[in-house]
Chains A and B, each alone.
Chain A
Amino acid sequence: MLSRNIRLLSRRYSQAVTFRTTESSPTQQNENQVGLFYTMNNDVCKQLFAHGGLPKSFMKQTKTFTETALMVRLPALDIIDCIKVTDLNKPVVRYVLYGEKGAGKSLTLAHLLHFAHEDGFLIVHIPWVSDWLRRLPRDKEMSNSQSREGFVDIPLDAAAWLLHFKMQNQVLLKTGDLKTSKEYVWSKRESTPAGAPLAELVEHGIARVKYACDVIDVLLKEIKLLSNAKKCKTFVAIDGFNSFFYPLTRLSTPTKKKVAPEEVSLTAPFMEITKNDWTNGAIVVTTDQLAVPEDRQENYLPKYLLYQKGFEHLDPFVPMEIGRYTEREFLSCASYYRDRLWLRGPPELESELKLASACNPYNFMELCAPL
């Protein structure tokens, strides 16, 4: 039994060289580290992903493996390079991540978020759009919007997002001099004066859930102005963007009439911020088959998922395909799983698993689960 432990230790040592990398800062990673895993700091993880951002299955894995490790892959490195090279005086460049189910789009987005955080960007991140438009727990509150006629509000989700935003940008909100440009009056007694810090705006939205959607609207407009004025650089990351363009949502007005995404008050601010009429930032968006109902899930290519409207909104964008694992990545992932005690067995197994999962990352993880 003791010899087994020694075997495990020695295996870990010999394989530590092949699948891990100690370079845990995305700004410093380059092509030498493609296919290798880097570990994220737990504090950073909590700050960035406390309210979502990493897929649920991945969160379970982090608990079992007792660490958050992401694989460095080519698409992420590509976008990081492009962002580093772009001239920030030009209008923002939009990147669209697409790929089959389980290819790794959300995790690539997480990698990019880490990079943005390190590089000092102000992060605007929606973990999963369909949570707002298509998930309906029993206590979902949908009220008629007060500032806009005929629009539907989702106050609780908006407040949750404001919390998320606050958590991700703690540092910048405290130190940076990000101030509002004009005064906003919410009601007879509440108003935010001009020149107030953005943090105050966010606090107000969290405290007064009724105005949360309007607060988000105002907040994003301010962020746009601030970016144009070079006060901060913004990184917008949206997962499941094509959900905004599907003709129907599962929400309904209090009079039980179905709404389209255009009638939800939360869509408008995010549509505004994904336009390319501002400078000093970057926008990364993913289109996912899982964001729409099953009868529209035939194809994973972006133009099909975004429909005509979405394509026109985002055009011109840089499409980035997230593919399946290559040979090297697959072997590295398999050795990582062995190291973390998730996979065991003889090495012939790898060829079997490669064929059975077709090198799709999610399928590979699912297949290794009972083994």
Chain B
Amino acid sequence: MNSIRYKLSGVTCSVLQAANFRPAYIQCRLYSGPTSFPDFFKNPIFRKEEQAKLIEINELSKLAISPVKPPGVSETSSVYYDPLVNKLINHVMKMGKKQLARELVEKAFENVKRIQIERYHLASSAEAKAKIILNPKDILHQAIENCRPLLQLLPIKRGGIVYQVPAPITEKRSLFLAIKWLLDATNDKERTIHFPQQFAWELLDAANNTGKVVKRKQDLHRQCEANRAYAHYRWQ
């Protein structure tokens, strides 16, 4: 895992992992967006915290002289920057319509917020009120965490038959599967219900460990458990 991250020259892995409010697997990009820049251009450091860290270890002045790629449009130093939300918007996007994707995701968050605020006002006791998460991004994180599979089934052909073999899964792949399953479940909606509304419901269900997506993950786990006899087929 660690070897993938060393493309960012001069910045060690430990510095990245110290940013503990968001997981390092998302920050680990080999390139920032489509590259019309040559390979020796470095990735941009656009978060204030990371710049501060570089200043502490005196690396920022070196980076300032070397050529750096410009950050993408959604890579801001805003307080509300969340790489998981950006990734989600990219997965929702079709035909390059980023603005539409972003509007849909933002409306979904708004719906989540409204539902949660309603529940908050309906809850009677202070403990119940305290349990309700009101921040839609926290709900999203919770939902993704609950939907991630721990193993995947790989089709492996032995002796003319294709077996579904349980195999380990990388973090990136599990994140991809979680987002994909969420979007699949959302797009399975009725014609009259709009995407943001359905997506909000799916997110809330997943955060609550109920609903279609979590069921799909649990089915996968059960299937893996059932097929554990074939696990040795990964090595021959």
Contact = CB atoms under 8 A, between A and B. Distances in A.
B14 interface: no
Contacts of A342: 113, 117
Interface of A: 1-2, 4-5, 60, 64, 66, 340-342, 344-346, 348-349, 352, 369-371
Contacts of B136: 370
Given A346-B79, A348-B79, A369-B106, A4 B130 contact: yes
A99 B96 CA distance: 35
Interface of B: 78-80, 105-107, 109-110, 113-114, 117-118, 120-121, 126-127, 129-131, 134-136
Judged by DSSP, the binding face of A is loop
A341 B79 CA distance: 18
A370 B200 CA distance: 12
B80 A349 contact: yes
Contacts of B107: 369-370
Contact of A1 (B80, B105, B110, B131): B131
B52 to A, nearest CB: 14
Given A348-B79, A369-B106, A2 B117 contact: no
A1 B127 contact: yes
A341 B118 CA distance: 11
A341 B117 contact: yes
Contact of B80 (A4, A64, A340, A371): A371
B126 A345 contact: no
A2 B135 contact: no
Contact of A64 (B105, B118, B127): B118
B200 to A, nearest CB: 11
A336 to B, nearest CB: 14
A1 B109 contact: no
A89 B155 CA distance: 90
B121 A66 contact: yes
A346 B113 CA distance: 18
A43 B179 CA distance: 46
A341 B120 contact: yes
A2 B126 contact: yes
A369 B129 contact: no
Nearest to B109: A370
27 contacts: A1-B127, A1-B130, A1-B131, A4-B130, A5-B126, A60-B114, A64-B118, A66-B121, A340-B117, A341-B134, A342-B117, A345-B79, A346-B79, A349-B79, A349-B80, A352-B79, A369-B106, A369-B107, A369-B109, A369-B113, A370-B105, A370-B107, A370-B109, A370-B110, A370-B113, A371-B80, A371-B109
B121 A345 contact: no
A370 B120 CA distance: 17
A339 B153 CA distance: 48
Contacts of A369: 106-107, 109-110, 113
Contacts of B127: 1-2
Nearest to A356: B78
A370 B85 CA distance: 11
A369 to B, nearest CB: 4
Contacts of A345: 79-80
Nearest to B78: A352
Contacts of B126: 2, 5
Contacts of B129: 5
Nearest to A349: B79
Contacts of A348: 79
Contacts of B106: 369-370
Which 10 residue pairs of A and B lie closest in terms of their CB atoms, listed nearest first? A370-B106, A370-B109, A1-B130, A369-B110, A5-B130, A349-B79, A64-B114, A5-B126, A64-B117, A370-B110
Nearest to B110: A369
Nearest to A345: B79
Given A5-B129, A352-B79, A370-B109, 4 more contacts: A64-B114, A66-B121, A340-B117, A349-B79
A5 B109 CA distance: 22
B195 to A, nearest CB: 14
A337 to B, nearest CB: 11
Nearest to A371: B80
